């Protein structure tokens, strides 16, 4: 994936891409994971906002203040760990990725072979986000 992104940047196809790789299993709460994600993406905290609100404003460009076409690629290993304990984090990530003004590409890696089935059972997610299961 890194090589593909580098090639696209070298061709000028992608202007500005920042990649973060996290293991969801390492974080006890979604807020801790989002704080680590902000650090990995070099996103500065916004006054009066928690990590979740800050990431939402960056990924969905809710403030419409950014003139750059910055793209964020988040590779989240062990994404299946978010299904039970931190489902709100999972809802947020998928919501940001499918937002009309999104600047987030979410790549989830899971050990569950039936992750798609588990995602469909999360009623708020409803898996309408063009999820594609790739088995290696």
Helix H or strand E encompassing 106: strand 104-109
Q: What is the pLDDT of residue 88?
A: 76
Domain-embedded: residue 136: no
CA angle at residue 110 from 104 to 112, to 5 degrees? 140
Tally of structural domains, the chain: 1
Closest CA to 16 of 40, 41, 52, 35: 41
Going by their DSSP bridges, the two strands 104-109 and 70-77 should be labelled as parallel
> What does DSSP assign to residue 81?
G
Identify the pLDDT of residue 29.
85
Give the residue numbers spanning the domain of 65: 2-120
| pLDDT, position 38 | 94
- Is the pLDDT assigned to residue 34 strictly greater than 90? yes
pLDDT in tens, 80-115: 777 765 567 877 888 888 877 778 888 888 776 655
In a domain, 130, yes or no: no
- Specify the residue for token string 């978010």: 82
Give the whole-angstrom CA distance, residue 101 versus residue 111: 30
Domain holding 52: CATH number? 3.40.50.300
Tokens of 1: 């994936």
């Amino acid at each position: 994936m890194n090589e593909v992104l580098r090639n696209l940047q070298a061709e000028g196809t992608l202007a500005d891409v920042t990649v973060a790789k996290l293991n969801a299993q390492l974080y006890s709460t979604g807020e801790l994971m989002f704080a680590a994600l902000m650090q990995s993406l070099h996103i500065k905290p916004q006054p009066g906002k928690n990590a979740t609100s800050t990431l939402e404003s960056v990924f969905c460009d809710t403030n419409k203040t950014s003139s750059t076409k910055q793209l964020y690629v988040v590779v989240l290993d062990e994404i299946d760990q978010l299904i039970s304990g931190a489902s709100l984090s999972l809802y947020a990530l998928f919501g940001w990725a499918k937002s009309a003004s999104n600047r987030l590409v979410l790549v989830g890696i899971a050990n569950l072979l039936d992750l798609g089935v588990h995602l469909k059972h999360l009623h708020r997610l409803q898996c309408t986000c063009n999820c594609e299961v790739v088995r290696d």
